[in-house]
Structure 1
């Protein structure tokens, strides 16, 4: 990328998402009230466009190879309040109001476990 484009991406006001070689960028979802990390997923251009157009978080399912709206079957949608963009525009944070648990296991967050000093997973108190 020409240096001028890097300056625009890092310091400018133009949204220029930088998708990886797989056509995806990382999206971290945080609760709008608590700022708790709820989940991490990936977005392609279609998912990013759908998220911005509908106000509901959409992602690219790598396992199914298609667009999905979070909560499309469970009703546990994520209503987007803000989209934060990192410095080089290759990752975003979606600040959202969850309509229910974010994790497919029924947990409030996908990050319900932590790694202890012995390499074992245990329930997180966070």
Structure 2
């Protein structure tokens, strides 16, 4: 006669997990079972059912590993895209804003005034000073 805990500990001596041992003992009256009954229950459960369950667990672990790898790859690609975009924006600022500033200075000589362009140039100058 054994308790459930004792039966699980007995099964663990044979490298069974606690959860598998519990499943093997399902339907077995442990209060009336002896070691032989427990060994028979373990042997009956250790056939195809346990093998299928272990295969499913292995497949789930492989799927989790694959998903983690995919997530890590997506995060890496996203970070690269962000960095590339920031670099492109910086390059565009350094190329186009000075050209716009020159053209606007020439246009001002002919009377053109645009508050939007002036605000953009002022913002660029402030950003450029902060970056330096």
Q: TM-score, normalization: structure 2?
A: 0.19
Greater fraction of residues in strand: 1
Structure with bigger gyration radius: 2
Higher relative contact order (Cα pairs below 8 Å, separated by 6+ residues): 1
Greater fraction of residues in helix: 2
Q: TM-score, normalization: structure 1?
A: 0.20
